[in-house]
Amino acid sequence: MMFQPEIEAMPRPQLEELQLHRLQSTIERLRSRVPAMASRLEGIPAPQSLDDLVNFPLLHKADLRDSYPFGLFAEPRENIRRIHASSGTTGKPTVVGYTEADLGMWADCIARNLIGAGCEPGWMLHNAYGYGLFTGGLGLHTGAERAGISVVPVSGGNTDRQIMLIEDFAPQAICCTPSFALTLAERLGAEARNSSLRVGILGAEPWTSAMRDEIEERLNIVAVNLYGLSEVIGPGVSCETARRDGLVFAEDHFYPEIVHPDTGERLPDGEVGVLVLTSLTKEAFPVLRYWTGDLCSLTHEPDADGRTHARMSAIVGRADDMLIIRGVNVYPSQVEDTLLEIPNVSPHFQLVVSRTGTLDEMQVRLEGEGIDPSAVAAKLKSSLGVTVLVTVEPAGTVPRSEGGKLNRVNDVR
């Protein structure tokens, strides 16, 4: 089923005409309302075709940081109806804003995702994405309401209580991270397959098809992959349908490109590279060629139900080194910054990321004289927002760079 069939199955020539028109307005909006962008775009002629987008510079997370908090907003502060934020490499979060129209557009995108995933108006959605500055909770919330679905705004945490609510309220759908879906399956045990749940809308962190198989088998649900990022809107940039045949973009709102990770050159369909996204309708915080750092490939073939918007593969990795630990973005450089503030900690450290059962675990192996591991762990917990295990190793045992690029991260998940 489609929530907005006239848009989701719009003939491509018509869609591309709409995209070009919206792209031109977005660039005009940036030039006339965002001084920092006007100077970046100076002298670049207005695009006459979608291919002309390659003439525009890529926008990186660091550019957002330079304009913290509201410097890239294209609307006066009073017109902003909502603020969200995501954690970044430094102590300051990346801040994003939405006008009323932006919130309406976002709700439409999520409603398309939910209906496409097989949810029906009148169903109930157990929403276990975090509420607050994170875009997951409120993003799914308003989109589900738009689709005519009852929302249980549970947010994250307290697994036992979540299980009680699922048993008592009998929701047909759940949204949460894939790792949390596995935790639920594990806690529910033999009962997991008999719950009321039929559809899971899972995302916010990378997951493999093996993990999908396990989730679907253990919970007896159809599990679709939902992708998005705060800088672009939040969840709802792309999502699989019940067919699980690629994540369909809301291409009338977000224009995807795949570029080579080193050269930035645009790559053809089927080739894996970095996903670069341009917002086409956002008012408060338009982004032009935003470098997501996420690696995937695209196809522009229509899907089996007639959706004409481009689809992406699941994310296969990241061009940079961000780690996602239980849904929280962690950069090795954040760990480094925190460790280096502690006296006597040697700069040689290693991060070991593993998965025990269904939960991500991060161990920080470090060296240094007279270090109290629990004090370091507490400091890391407050700066990163995740619990880590700290171990102090004998001097000289943590791997050193041997001239090449030192990989501080040993991800064994």
Considering the complex, what minimum distance in angstroms separates the CB of residue 344 from ligand DLL? 34
Considering the complex, what minimum distance in angstroms separates the CB of residue 249 from ligand DLL? 13
> In which region does residue 347 sit, left (phi positive, over 0), alpha (psi from -120 to 50) or beta (all else)?
alpha
Considering the complex, what minimum distance in angstroms separates the CB of residue 229 from ligand DLL? 4
Nearer to ligand DLL, 328 or 366 (CB): 328
Nearer to ligand DLL, 226 or 366 (CB): 226
Tell me if 257 sits within 8 A of 127, measured CB to CB: no
Instruction: Return d(Cα 115, Cα 197) in angstroms, integer.
Output: 15
- E-assigned strands of 212-344? 222-229, 234-240, 247-249, 254-259, 273-279, 290-296, 298-299, 311-312, 317-318, 323-325, 328-330
What DSSP designation does 266 have? B
Nearer to ligand DLL, 246 or 368 (CB): 246
Nearer to ligand DLL, 229 or 392 (CB): 229
Residue nearest to ligand DLL (CB): 203
Nearer to ligand DLL, 24 or 333 (CB): 333
**Tokens linked to 238:** 């792309």
Tell me if 116 sits within 8 A of 152, measured CB to CB: no
Considering the complex, what minimum distance in angstroms separates the CB of residue 205 from ligand DLL? 6
Instruction: For Cα atoms 54, 55, 57, give the angle at the middle one, nearest 5 degrees.
Output: 90
What DSSP designation does 404 have? S
Instruction: Return d(Cα 140, Cα 127) in angstroms, integer.
Output: 7
**Tokens linked to 17:** 């005409």
Give me Rg for the CA atoms of the chain: 22
The CA–CA distances, whole Å, from 335 to 63, 64, 245, 373 equal: 22, 21, 37, 14
Give the footprint of ligand DLL on this chain (CB under 6 A). Answer: 86, 129, 135-136, 203-206, 225-230, 234-235, 292, 294, 315, 318, 329
**Tokens linked to 346:** 């040697």
Angle of helix 373-384 versus helix 332-340 axis, rounded to 10: 130
Considering the complex, what minimum distance in angstroms separates the CB of residue 220 from ligand DLL? 21
Considering the complex, what minimum distance in angstroms separates the CB of residue 315 from ligand DLL? 4
Of 146, 152, 83, the C-alpha closest to 113 is 146
Considering the complex, what minimum distance in angstroms separates the CB of residue 181 from ligand DLL? 12
Considering the complex, what minimum distance in angstroms separates the CB of residue 137 from ligand DLL? 8
Nearer to ligand DLL, 20 or 322 (CB): 322
Instruction: Return d(Cα 305, Cα 407) in angstroms, integer.
Output: 44
